[in-house]
Amino acid sequence: MDSRMHTGSMQTETAQKTVGQYLFDCLKLEGITDIFGVAGDYNFTLLDTLERYNGIQFISGRNELNAGYAADGYARVKGISALITTFGVGELSACNAIAGANSEHVPIIHIVGAPPDKDQKEHKMMHHTLMDGNFDVFRKVYEQITAYTAVITTENAKIEIPAAIRIAKEKKKPVYLVVADNLVTKPIMAREVPMLTRRLSNLKTLEAAADHVRQLLKHAKRPVILVDVKTMRYGLQTAVRQLADAMNVPVVTMRFGKGAFDEAHQNYIGMNLGPFGSSEVQSTVENADCIIAVGLVWADTNTASFTAKLNPKVTVNIQPDMVKVAEAEYPNVLAADMLLAVQKVGYKGRGMDGKLSFPYDQVTASADDPLVAAGYYPRFQRMLKEDDIVIAEIGTFSYGMAEVRLPSNVTYIGQVGWGSIGYAIPSAFGASIAAPERRVLLFTGDGSLQLTAQEISSMLYYRCKPIIFVLNNEGYTIEKYLNVKTANQKYNQIPRWSYTKLAEAFGGNAFTVTVRTYGELDQAINDAEKEISERLCIIEIIAGNPMDAPEFVRRMRSYMEKLEMQRTQK
């Protein structure tokens, strides 16, 4: 059987839905109950239709960029999301968020309200355009950063809307739909819609790949399972867990894939950070004689600047729709089928030798000591609970939280690949909307917060109650570490804000506290855990040393300094 999409009988629907109603019906079928965005005159009809629609509410952001980040966070919790912006000014503001979703394999349905089709056909000089009569230029921009774009009409709505949603789900990428404002309330035309079934693996290729893995495992003494980001995006966590249980071998995660494997599992040994992280993990991976890698993305920030090493001759690289075993490629093999086939090989390891230790297992430092990374990350690890949602900003928090051991069923969100500072605050807003019953913990820096602080206003408005940890280290500390060429850069300094007064400035009620010692931090955490049942919490952490950072960052800095020295000596 081959891997192409199988098409069943054609189905004709005659219900006279409007374009807008049909669009929202399709989104509702995907479990979308909230749509993020910002109002603009070209999307008024979309939003008016949505206000009258049962089952989906509009969640207004303070700007389109933040709304896009919020949609991204929502999709990471619920699997898919939607965003509505206006033409030109709105959609371009959201470009960064959508490009980030593309980079990070996050499906977002981006819907753009456009000028009336009559004005477009007459090439009128309309506001929010480049004043050249070209109404297709922004869609062409989106062609570069989404998996699919379409101009929706009454004639094609029943074809294009389901097609876009299907592509977003299959490719785990954002898609773009633009619809003229005046067409939203027009009835769609009946169309024959193909009934599509799920993709299937090519069984002969699957069998050949499984045989190749069997040969690798036959003589393996030190196999390891390496779990990365696409494990999460493609819903493979259970299959990977079952494989780990069956094989009884060490399991390691990549930085992109933080949270893709249960870190409370007895076989989990830590994060693969190459020479920047645990030497035990590094040795386990580099000395493995068979590596089962699932959903791997071999990028710089995922491989400690490519210092992490894998032996390609013993690596089984399982991707969503193909497998590579050593140098042999096996196309049209679905990851879920391959994981089951590897499990059926029947390899059984010896389990873990001795008790494992993790970087932040020991809570140290006395109550009166000033706050440094080595002391507050163990406290964060201790406060985490099952089912939490944890969001870490791309600053120093991202590096430190990477090595915090998570309890079971924690959703971990970090934009490690795209790495746009300011992502975390609106993403946490989106996650809070997606799962109001779950505890949301946000870890962000003062520099990042200043980019997107407005979304704290949205959290207050929609009664979201996360705990927000703001690390005040007087600027873009991670940027200071990354720049090994100069020191004391003025461009990495930021204005001083009163972070605990933000909620008041936004007209809301929050529990806020500033802490400078471990005793104060412990008390603040205890208080916040009680307060979040009623209100949002902001804990401002004053760094004892503004240039303090996790060991991961320090090692990365040393490596970069060596490279820079070698470059200047040439």
**Residues noted as catalytic:** 41, 64, 127-128, 419, 446, 473, 475, 479
**263 Cβ contact partners less than 8 Å away, ≥ 6 residues apart:** 253, 405, 406, 407, 408, 410
Say if residues 43 and 37 touch (Cβ distance below 8 Å).
yes
> Alpha-carbon torsion 352, 279, 411, 542, what sign?
positive
Query: For residue 291, how many other CB atoms are within 10 A of its CB?
Result: 25
SS3 call for 516: coil
Which position has the token pair 């081959």?
Answer: 2
Supply 168's token pair: 């977003």
Specify the DSSP element, H or E, that contains 269.
strand 268-271
Are residues 142 and 98 in contact, defined by beta-carbon separation less than 8 angstroms? Answer: yes
* Pair of tokens at residue 99: 């490009």
CB 353 within 8 A of CB 346: no
Residue 9 contacts residue 197 (beta carbons within 8 Å): no
Short-list 144, 302, 241, 205, CA closest to 1: 205
Tokens of 133: 């009569």
Using N-to-C axis directions, what is the helix angle for 44-51 and 19-29, rounded to 10°? 60
* CA–CA separation, 223 and 200 (whole Å): 28
Query: What 3-state class would DSSP assign to 488?
Result: coil
Helix, strand or coil for residue 235? coil
State the amino acid at position 218 in one-letter form: K
Are residues 404 and 360 in contact, defined by beta-carbon separation less than 8 angstroms?
yes
| Cα distances (Å, whole numbers) of residue 462 to 32, 424, 479, 519 | 17, 17, 33, 32
Sheet holding 322-325, edge to edge: 268-271, 251-253, 223-227, 290-294, 315-319, 322-325, 328-331
Q: What angle do CA 45, 49, 50 make, to 5 degrees?
A: 115
The number of residues making up the chain comes to: 570
